[in-house]
Each structure stands twice: as C-alpha cells, then as structure tokens.
C-alpha cells in the first residue's frame, strides 16, 4: 500500500506539468486555459526506492473567479482529509495572491506534512523573487521548474523523508483475500454488499455519497470466505457534484491498492461513464483482478440484444484489456449475486496461476516459431526461451536476441495467445522481452 500525495494550488500555477514530471508521463492535458485539466489525475511515482501515489487535484474548477475560490477551498479540504502529504504549488511569476494566502492559512493548521513548491523558477532573478513566499508562513520552500525539472530532486528527497511509515500489509498466505467493491457514487455498492451479507449494515439511500468510509466485512457464506471492502467512501456534501466524484476516486485509490480483486459496480441506467473508466484503469494500473458488475439491471428496458450490446460497448471502452468478466446483476432482486462472488473468487485464483517453465516452453515456443515477430531493418528476432516470473501477479519474460525490435502489436499477440490457452480472465498480465 502506498502513501498518497496530493498536489494542490490555484489554477494555472503548473500543477499538471509538475504532476506529469513526477509520474514521467504526459497523462494530464496541459493547456494555458485556466482549469483545463478535466480528469482526476492519478499516477505512481518512485524516488529513492520509495513508491507513492500522486493525485493532481487541479482542474475540476469550472466557472467564474468567485466559484474558483470556493472550489479550491474544497479541493484543499479533500486533500487534507485523504492524503498523507500535500504539495502546495505556487507561481513565482504572479507572486502571492489572495487565494494563495487563504490556502496557506488553512494548511498552516494541518498536522500532515505540507511542502511549499514555488514553480516556474528557471533563473537567478526568479530565485530572488521566490523569497517573498516566506510570507506564507509555511517555512522552507522548494523552487522548481516543472517544465525543465530543475529543483525537483531536492523536493522529492524531502518528500520521501517526511512521508509517514505505513503499517505493512500482511503478506501472510493464510490471510483472506481482499475484494474491494468500487465504483462511482450511487451505483449501488452498499446495496450489493447488503444483499450479500443479508443485513442492512450500510445505510442505503438514493443520495449519492452516504457511505462515510471504506469498511471491511469478513464474508463467510455459501462456501466463500474473504474480506469485503466497501469503498463507497464519499462523505455527504450538500449540493456538491464535482468533489463527490473526486472523493470517490481518491477513496478508491487506497482501497484498490490494498485489494486483490476489484469488483467494479456500475449503474446500468447510466452506462459505463468516464468515472467508471477512471476507476477501471486505476485497478488495471495497479495490476488487480477485475470483475465488472452492471447493477440495477432490473431497471433496464430489455430488447432482444440488450445485454450483448451493452457488454460490447463496455469491452470497446476497456480495450485492449478486454478479457474481463462482465455480469448483469441486481442488488435489489438479488439476481446473479452468487455468480458475481464465484467470478470474483475465480479471478482471485487465476491471478495466482503458476505455469511450470518446461510446460510453458513446450506450449509457447511452437506458436512463436510459426508466428515469429516481424523482421525489422532486415534483422530477424529469435525467441529461444520463456518463463513465468515468480511475482505476485502474472508476469512473463521471453528471451530474444533482439528484444528491442519486438513492438507492441506482437506483445498483444503473445498476450492473446496466453489468454486463449491459460485462464487469466480478469487479470492484467505483464509481458517482457529481454536479451538472452
């Protein structure tokens, strides 16, 4: 399980550029239009051997300047509630603004580590200009340039030093598998759990965000035994749509990182929306087993091809990782709930699949021989040997003379063959080509 680091600050101070640098990918859309980041951006970063999750809280700020202010206030509150450390980004070009002052006032009262990051410092004059940020009362600050990356090393040294030690996850093989029930607010996660447990342990209402926290329940019925984690995890906030969404992703981060299998509950009446997709890719990025439950199926008008069409649409959205079980359920009528559990258990078992090296070579080498990687620049790739790595999640390595010439389409071909032959339904697979 990783620490969660939240990046906060007003629009246009360069949070997304800085976030991209931390996770070393251009995942966030960066644009000079204020508040253009449309996604709750999440990624993983690692420094000095310590891995942590980064959340860019920016960009769900829409509307006029006065709305910006209340949204930023809210964003900061969410970061304070949900993260282990906060990076407060300010802009040296603009100096201290009233909004920076207000954020700083709130952050001064926080007991969690807060690091002040002065961005866009790319010359000596701006180093001097940065001195004014001592006035925010947050002590030492770090000058960086999100664009060029200068200064980020010192900042990250300090960040990993102040991150709290998390209790280790018990890797005891006897420990029960953890199934996290995840999804957007109001998709029916708590109703699903209540239907399984057979008691109304969670308050279920039709107001999005009534579940206060992620709650673990030991489940032991019908021959199944595991820990069920309900991550509805949204606090109820009056008239707030935007941060509910942000909250659910933030809560899901922790639960997903800590789970073996994620049961993604979506609302059949709303379809597979952007937020469902964010949570799906969050689970995939973390290499967790995944089962998709289309809940409230009893409310959908049935045509002749409804479930087939519905499933096809979801698979288009989750491509190329389409080998994921999709079940149509109703927590209300208890339709297919046991099937959902059986499927989650099956995905958990598949994730532990181990294939003996000799058998694996016997099966895969003839396939590779009859479908070798395409030649590149007149050079032929020869794959002589392959094996499964001794890792917690399925990872396979293929040893080749020219691994750098093996491109993504061939990796997908190999993955598809693996999935045809072995049962890895719902389980992300990693495939590597290495020099023999």
For residue 193 the two structure tokens come to 């759990």
Confirm or deny that 167 is annotated as ligand binding: no
- Residue 184 is labelled as binding a ligand: yes
10 annotated as belonging to a binding site for a ligand: yes
**Cα(168)–Cα(140) distance, rounded to whole angstroms?**
31
Name the one residue in this structure whose structure tokens are 């969050």: 282
50 is in an annotated binding site: no
Annotated ligand binding at 15? The verdict is yes
Annotation-wise, does 298 bind a ligand? yes
Q: Is 209 annotated as a binding residue?
A: no
DSSP 175: S
Task: Determine whether the annotation assigns residue 60 to a binding site.
Answer: yes
Tell whether 296 is in a known binding site.
yes
Concatenating the DSSP letter of every residue in 196-262 gives HHTS--S---SSS----S-EEEEEEETTEEEEEEE-------TT-SHHHHHHHHHHHHHHHHT-SEE
Ligand-binding site membership of 361 (annotated): no
Q: Is 340 annotated as belonging to a binding site?
A: no
Q: Does the annotation flag 295 for ligand binding?
A: yes
| HSE toward the beta carbon, residue 431, CA cutoff 13 A | 19
Is 185 known as a binding-site position? yes
139 in a labelled binding site = no
Q: Cβ(233)–Cβ(255) under 8 Å? A: yes
Residue pair 141/154 in contact (Cβ under 8 Å)? The answer is no
For 107, the token pair is 């952050």
Annotated binding-site residue? 3? no
| Residue 158 assigned as binding residue | no
Residue 190 is labelled as binding a ligand: yes
Would you say 118 is a known binding-site residue?
no
Does 354 show up as a binding residue in the annotation? no
Please state, in angstroms and rounded to a whole number, the distance separating the CA atoms of residues 188 and 1: 26
30 is in an annotated binding site: no
Q: Is 320 annotated as a binding residue?
A: no
The answer to the question of whether 268 is labelled as a binding residue is no
**Residue 121 is assigned to a ligand binding site:** yes
**Is 58 part of any known ligand binding site?**
yes
Residues forming the annotated binding site?
9-16, 56-60, 119-122, 183-190, 230-234, 295-298
Residue ranges of the binding site for GTP: 9-16, 56-60, 119-122, 183-190, 230-234, 295-298
């Amino acid at each position: 399980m990783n620490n969660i680091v939240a990046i906060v600050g007003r629009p246009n101070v360069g949070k997304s550029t800085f976030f991209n640098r931390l996770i070393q990918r251009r995942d966030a859309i960066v644009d000079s239009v204020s508040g253009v980041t449309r996604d709750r951006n999440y990624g993983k970063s690692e420094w000095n051997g310590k891995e942590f999750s980064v959340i860019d809280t920016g960009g769900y700020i829409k509307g006029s300047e006065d709305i910006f202010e209340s949204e930023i206030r809210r964003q900061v509150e969410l970061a304070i509630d949900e993260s282990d450390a906060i990076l407060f980004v300010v802009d040296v070009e603009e100096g201290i603004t009233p909004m920076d002052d207000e954020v700083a006032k709130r952050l001064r009262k926080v007991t969690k580590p807060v690091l002040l990051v002065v961005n866009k410092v790319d010359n000596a004059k701006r180093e001097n200009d940065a001195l004014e940020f001592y006035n925010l009362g947050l002590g030492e600050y770090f000058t960086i340039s999100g664009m060029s990356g200068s200064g980020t090393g010192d900042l990250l040294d300090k960040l990993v030093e102040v991150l709290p030690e998390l209790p280790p996850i018990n890797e005891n093989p006897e420990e029960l598998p953890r199934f996290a029930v995840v999804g957007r607010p109001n998709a029916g996660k708590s109703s699903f759990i209540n239907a399984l447990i057979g008691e109304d342990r969670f308050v279920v209402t039709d107001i999005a965000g009534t579940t206060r926290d992620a709650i673990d329940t030991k489940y032991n019925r019908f021959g199944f035994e595991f820990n069920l984690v309900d991550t509805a995890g949204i606090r109820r906030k009056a008239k707030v749509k935007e941060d509910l969404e942000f909250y659910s992703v933030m809560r899901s981060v922790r639960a997903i990182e800590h789970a073996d299998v994620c049961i993604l509950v979506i609302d059949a009446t709303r379809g597979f929306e952007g937020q469902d997709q964010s949570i799906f890719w969050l689970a995939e990025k973390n290499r967790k087993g995944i089962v998709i439950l289309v809940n409230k199926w009893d409310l959908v008008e049935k045509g002749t091809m409804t479930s087939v069409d519905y499933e096809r649409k979801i698979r288009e959205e989750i491509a190329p990782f389409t080998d994921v079980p999709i079940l149509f359920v109703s927590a209300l009528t208890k339709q297919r709930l046991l099937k959902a559990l059986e499927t989650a258990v099956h995905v958990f078992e598949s994730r532990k699949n181990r294939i003996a090296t000799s058998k694996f070579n016997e099966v895969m080498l003839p396939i590779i021989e009859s479908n070798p990687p395409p030649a590149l620049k007149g050079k032929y790739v020869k794959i002589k040997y392959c094996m499964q790595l001794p890792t917690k999640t399925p990872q396979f390595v293929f040893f080749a003379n020219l691994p750098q010439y093996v491109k993504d389409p061939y990796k997908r071909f190999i993955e598809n063959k693996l999935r045809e032959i072995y049962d890895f339904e719902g389980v992300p697979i990693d495939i590597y080509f290495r020099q023999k």
